[in-house]
Chains A and B, each alone.
Chain A
Amino acid sequence: MALDAFDRALIAAVQGGLPLVARPYEAVGAMLGVSGEQVRERLASMLDEGLVRRIGAVPNHYRLGFTANGMSVWDVDDHQVDALAAQIAQLNGVSHCYRRTRHLPDWPYNLFAMLHGRTRDEVERQADVVAALLGPACRARDILYSTAILKKTGLRLKGTHDVQD
């Protein structure tokens, strides 16, 4: 699926957020020279296609009291990692669970699972649950806590085009 000029302009117009006015889709349409209905139709189809994951609020975890934000990383046997990770992804407090490329010898970890809690103790307990689940398939582990959000803006498309023509 490739983005056409309208998609690109639409994404560029809303990637920073929807306008906080009574008719936000109408307002976006006005910026793009189309109707609010056209904006809604395309956003609804993008939701169906999965190009839009969701429409909603993106919280700052820290400001909501979830100040312990640990990137847990695990060196898991390649033959078992998929089956085990599927179970880990279902645990409470786990988000963004991925298998990723190792950088040997510096970085032996191939499984990443973000853990979120109000305290580091809470995160450590979650990590213990993960460790128990992985059992002997896990050879090494670490948790990298975030100590500052340096930037959080989400996707930014460049080079968007005018779609009025």
Chain B
Amino acid sequence: MLRPDQLLLVDYLHGGFPVVDRPFAAVGAALGWSEDHVIECLRQLLASGVLTRFGPLFQIERAGGQFMLAALAVPEERFDEVTALVNALPEVAHNYRRDHPSLNMWFVLAGESAAAVADAARRIEQATGLTVFQFPKEHEYRVELRLPLIPPEGARHGA
């Protein structure tokens, strides 16, 4: 279980991290914490795996890049082997195992161009011998989730 101060920080840092010389001090000032406490708390959250990352999230499509959802039907006995092959590609940004009778591995390919993503899909097919099902985005309705971590009456900001 997370401590209340950790939950507060995860929630507060959803977005809007200040782009100023000493941003952790600015966050601390807003929360009534010291700069060191903010940094130490973040360090622990990252080290323990509660946060997978802390920093800018890029929307590379704005610069010609592409994100592509893709899936594989992986035979159960090959799951670990295929996971290693797929994860080895730097273009694989996320990869999840999902419950489905055939398509049981779902990942996102991220590249600087549509060609780079297509190439990554080809390399996965060559390495695994499996067909990569590609699910290109035709329309985006929503892209972000803010998890309801703390009660509405708790301290929040509107990032």
Interface residues of A (CB under 8 A from B): 1-3, 7, 11, 14-18, 20-26, 36, 40, 43-44, 46-47, 49-61, 63-64, 66, 69, 71, 82, 85-86, 88-90, 92-101, 103, 106-107, 110, 112, 114, 116, 142, 144-158
Pairwise interchain contact B51-A58, C-beta atoms closer than 8 A:
yes
Secondary structure dominating the interface of B: mixed
Chain B 41-75 against A: per-residue CB contact (8 Å), 1 yes, 0 no?
01101101111111111111011110001000000
Give the docked Cα–Cα distance between A7 and B48 (Å).
Answer: 31
Within the complex, the shortest CB–CB distance from B145 to chain A, in Å, comes to 3
Contact B63 A43 (CB under 8 A): no
Distance of A4 Cα from B96 Cα, bound (Å): 33
Bound CA span A71–B97, Å? 11
Decide if B76 is an interface residue (CB 8 Å cutoff).
Answer: no
Chain B's closest residue to A94 (CB) is: B142
Nearest-neighbour CB distance to chain B for A62, whole angstroms, equals 9
What DSSP secondary structure best describes chain A's contact surface? mixed
Q: Are A147 and B98 in contact, CB atoms less than 8 angstroms apart? A: yes
> Within the assembled complex, what's the spacing in Å between the Cα atoms of A15 and B63?
15
Does A101 contact B112, Cβ atoms closer than 8 Å?
no
B55 to chain A, nearest CB (A): 4
Q: How far is the CB of B26 from chain A (nearest CB, A)?
A: 11
Q: From residue A51, how far is it (CB to closest CB) to chain B in Å? A: 4
Contact check, B143 vs A63: say whether CB atoms are below 8 A apart. Answer: no
Q: Counting CB contacts under 8 A, is B137 at the interface?
A: yes
CA distance A49 to B106 in the complex (A): 30
A54 touches B15 (CB 8 A): yes
Interface centre among B17, B69, B94, B141 (most CB of A within 10 A): B141
Q: Is the CB of A57 within 8 A of B99?
A: no
8 shortest interchain CB distances as A-B pairs: A95-B145, A54-B15, A89-B142, A89-B141, A150-B95, A151-B95, A18-B55, A99-B139
